[in-house]
Structure 1
Amino acid sequence: MARNKLVVPEARQAFEKFKMETAQEFGVDDPRALASNHTGYVVRKLVEMGERQLIDSYKNK
């Protein structure tokens, strides 16, 4: 299975931490299980986080 490349390769460590935190929220020991079982939730959460960052950056201008 090929790994997807991150747009910002330096973000790999932060993304791995995010996966571990999300796995803990679901009570999953292996974050790889999230890819098949909870992908929609993970994507929604990432979009929500991005939206918050955009709103915060807009407000701080």
Structure 2
Amino acid sequence: MSKNKLVVPEAKEAFEKFKMEIANEFGADDPRNLASKHTGLIVRELVRMGQEELIGNKSVD
């Protein structure tokens, strides 16, 4: 059995779109082509966005 069960299956499409947007910002045509440095920056940005959502600051772009 997979440990990576989706809590909100509907979010998968949105997450895939977000990954493509980030990959494009870094000049990669495919998220799989991003280096670990890039993926670390992506995770950092996701955490920042989540923190802002949790504290009620709706200035997330």
Structure 1's consecutive aligned runs of 4 or more residues displaced over 3 angstroms after TM superposition are none
2-structure distance, mates of 1:55, 1:16: 25
Taking only the aligned residue pairs, the percentage that are identical comes to: 69
1:19 aligns with 2:19: yes
TM-score of the pair, normalised by structure 1: 0.71
Q: State the shift of 1:6 in Å.
A: 3.2
Whichever structure has more helix as a proportion of its residues is 1
Return 5+ residue gaps in structure 2 as ranges: none
- Measured in 2, the distance between the counterparts of 1:46 and 1:34 equals 16
Residues 8 and 34 from structure 1, CA distance in 2 versus in 1: closer, same or farther, beyond 3 angstroms? farther
Considering only aligned residues, what root-mean-square deviation do their CA atoms show, in Å? 2.3
User: Structure 1 pair 5/23, CA: closer, same or farther in 2 (3 Å)?
Assistant: farther
- Determine whether 1:43 maps to 2:43: yes
Aligned length: 55
TM-score with structure 2 length normalisation?
0.71
